[in-house]
Chains A and B, each alone.
Chain A
Amino acid sequence: MKPFIVHRGKVAVLDWTDVNTDLIIPARYLKRIERVGYGPLLFADKRYIAGGAPPIDEPEKHGPLDPAFPLNRPENQGASVLVVGKNFGCGSSREHAVWAVAQGGYSVVIAPGKDEGFADIFEGNALNNGLLAVEVPQADWDRIAEIAGPGGAEAVIDLVKQVITVQNGPATVEVPFQIPDTRRERLLKGLDAISETLLLESDIDRYEQAAPAWIKPASA
């Protein structure tokens, strides 16, 4: 995983609440067994003019973009910071939703409300893919959305200082945020969780040896 230290990029706002994983990536695309190719599948049933969603095995073959979908607005093209409403990523545990957001070009997602911005599983999956999911207080979110809403805003997300700076023309907002230390550490170093855990292998062995007999599956 690539370390995440400071990210600089254009901001897009999708001001919808309860955006669920079926919306982020419709279930039919879960038939893929690959780990790449999810970018064009992000919001596949909203983003293209009806009938234009790509076939499952050919993500690049999609129809024209639907101008009514907020992320398709010209000023949102090339954005890498996504500002979203509450409870983003609710619904299923599919990591495909995070792959779609990340491969769709976003490095940071910002949602309002502590413990309310993201669905739990989505937040965990984001971490495992180096996608920074930041929750900021509603009032700060409102300030960000206000200056970024019209489009064309630039943001700097500094994970070392834990500060988001959004600038649009003369207007600037600076918002502090907090990511739990262990998570931050992993993102900053781009660490793979498995090798980290395997350092604790003797603890795992000991736990298994101490487990009661009934917990082992009977042989079926």
Chain B
Amino acid sequence: MPATLFQKVWDRHVLSVTNEATLLYIDRHLVHEVTSPQAFDGLRLAGRKVRRPDLTFATIDHNVPTEDQLNIRDPLSKRQVETLRANCAEFGLNFYDIKSGRQGIVHVIGPEMGITLPGTTIVCGDSHTSTHGAFGALAFGIGTSEVEHVMATQTLWQGKRPAALGVEVTGTLGPGLEPKDIILAVIRAIGTAGGTGTVIEYYGPAIRALSMEGRLTICNMSIEGGARAGLIAPDDVTFEYFTKVDRPYAPKGRDLEAAIADWRTLKTDDGAKFDQHITIDASKLVPQVTWGTNPAMTIDADGHIPTLDELPSSLRAEADRAFQYMGLTPGTPLDQIPVDVVFIGSCTNGRIEDLRAAAQVMKGRKVAEGVRALVVPGSEQVRSQAHAEGLDRVFEEAGAEWREAGCSMCLAMNPDKLQPGQRAASTSNRNFEGRQGPGGRTHLVSPSMAAAAAVTGRFTDVRRLLEV
């Protein structure tokens, strides 16, 4: 029987099946400080251990102050960080502390350290675990009770196998466009609940043409389309990620050869059927910008804030509340809307290629008067790579703040926050009310679009700055 990539990875991990539930083996468990304390407490209460500390990897990301990582002033953040530190010591887990050289956003360090491998199952108490699907891993977010369950058993109960949603991306991305524009366009097409109950597989020439980093950006936002996970079949680009750079936890030598031979079989067979399917033509895309308070409320960068009639019916009910919260008048051309803050970073767009794309736009330009621009590497390793390439100087010369690694302004849990009413161009993944700070207004964009907003002080189609 021809099978989809998702079926293959799922089937490999099935331990036990009852009528509606399936017990899956979990190959990698990533842990951060926010969703784990109550799980460790549960283990302690029941006198349980972590079954496979060698498959469990922890770091600190959400609470880290990116101006000076070591100076956690908020006592509650500090308590949460110290709790993880103590728990990792007590249970004997791999732990990447601040200034270890390997700390970073959990979804950035997983791939770069070779923890993330094709064909594996990966979970984390964090919905953006879908990121790791870029390698052809089945990776998804879980709740705290499940974190405890995985720690105790290295397995996870799932309902019936989710449906497979095929998202085919044809054509070629034009100049000034980025993987972020593809995924924003996908969510715009399917809606925030379009993927509920499914796992997405992204495929087609425009996906094949992407680097691993671009693929990570795409899979990262699968959850914003409601999907459980997103997957991309591994190929030579994936294998080179392991053969060209030494990744500490990845297989080496003969093990790596055996692994690659196996990974080559991880693709959707000819004749296998997706339960649902959509096609997007990358050649027709223009840069995308969200205007509202959910990630499907998206427009083209050369467009205007939609009027009620222009909206798809699924968005109309929420539109008035969104216009009001965002302080926007329908019909306003996007390029007349000024921004207060620009945030470049997060597990969506905090990797080296994202910083390069932003730097390319900022180079030789200045951040506009009155705009605050933050550039936050996704990990300590991304930060050192950016230093090696001189990107930090580009940002600083332009007048942007160059920060240390962490989640930063992606969510309002550390000192990097929007003030009420402030408008941000942000490369993160969520534009919900209050996500970046109570009353803050978030517009999701690609790194180069964010950089364009920083240097012009308003939303600007980056293709104009790149003279394309």
Contacts and interface: CB of A to CB of B under 8 A. Distances in A.
Contacts of A28: 412-413
A1 to B, nearest CB: 10
Contacts of A96: 144
A193 B433 contact: no
Nearest to A192: B46
Interface stretch (B251-259, B336-344, B387-395, B455-463): B251-259
B350 to A, nearest CB: 18
A98 B125 CA distance: 14
A119 B196 CA distance: 7
Contact of A125 (B21, B34, B143, B432): B143
B226 A119 contact: yes
A21 B236 CA distance: 38
B171 interface: no
B157 A95 contact: no
B193 A34 contact: no
A116 B76 contact: no
A124 B141 CA distance: 11
Nearest to B83: A33
A204 B155 contact: yes
A120 to B, nearest CB: 5
Given A214-B259, A217-B55, A218-B114, A193 B145 contact: yes
Nearest to B87: A33
B76 A128 contact: no
A218 B249 CA distance: 5
Given A27-B435, A115-B196, A124-B143, A215 B153 contact: no
B19 A181 contact: yes
Nearest to B154: A204
Interface string A76-104: 00000000001100111111101000000
Interface in A110-151: 115-116, 119-121, 124-125, 128-129
Contact of B143 (A34, A45, A98, A203): A98
Given A26-B412, A180-B19, A204-B155, A213 B258 contact: yes
Interface string B133-168: 000000001111110110011110101101000000
A16 to B, nearest CB: 8
A194 B434 CA distance: 35
A109 B162 CA distance: 22
Nearest to B430: A91
Nearest to B261: A214
B294 interface: yes
A182 B127 contact: no
Given A121-B127, A183-B20, A204 B25 contact: yes
Contacts of B413: 27-28, 30-31
Nearest to B248: A220
Contact of A121 (B141, B148, B152, B432): B141
Interface stretch (B35-43, B298-306, B444-452): B35-43
Nearest to A181: B19
Given A30-B34, A56-B76, A220-B113, A198 B83 contact: no
Contact of B41 (A20, A35, A128): A35
Contact of A212 (B19, B63, B125, B258): B258
Task: Please indicate which of the listed interface residues A20, A197, A216 has the most CB atoms of chain B within 10 Å of its own CB.
Answer: A197
B103 interface: no
Contact of B149 (A90, A194, A212, A215): A194
Contacts of A65: none
A30 B79 CA distance: 12
B15 interface: yes
Nearest to A20: B432
B411 interface: yes
Contact of A27 (B37, B129, B152, B412): B412
B79 A33 contact: yes
B333 interface: no
A193 B129 CA distance: 22
A128 B146 contact: yes
Contacts of A30: 34-35, 62, 413
29 contacts: A18-B318, A26-B438, A30-B413, A86-B193, A87-B192, A90-B193, A90-B226, A91-B127, A92-B127, A93-B125, A94-B144, A95-B35, A115-B197, A119-B226, A120-B196, A121-B127, A121-B228, A125-B144, A180-B20, A181-B19, A182-B18, A183-B20, A183-B21, A194-B152, A197-B149, A200-B23, A213-B255, A214-B259, A220-B248
Interface of B: 15-16, 18-21, 23, 25, 27, 34-35, 37-38, 41, 46, 48, 51, 54-55, 62-63, 74, 76-77, 79-80, 83, 94, 113-115, 117, 120, 125-127, 129, 141-146, 148-149, 152-155, 157, 159-160, 162, 192-193, 196-197, 226, 228, 248-252, 255-256, 258-259, 262, 294, 317-318, 411-413, 430, 432-435, 438
Interface of A: 17-18, 20, 22-23, 26-28, 30-35, 45, 56-57, 86-87, 90-96, 98, 115-116, 119-121, 124-125, 128-129, 180-183, 193-194, 197-198, 200-201, 203-204, 207-208, 212-218, 220
Given A45-B434, A212-B262, A214-B255, 19 more contacts: A23-B432, A28-B413, A30-B62, A45-B433, A93-B35, A93-B141, A96-B144, A116-B193, A120-B226, A121-B228, A125-B145, A125-B146, A194-B153, A197-B23, A197-B149, A197-B155, A204-B51, A218-B114, A218-B251
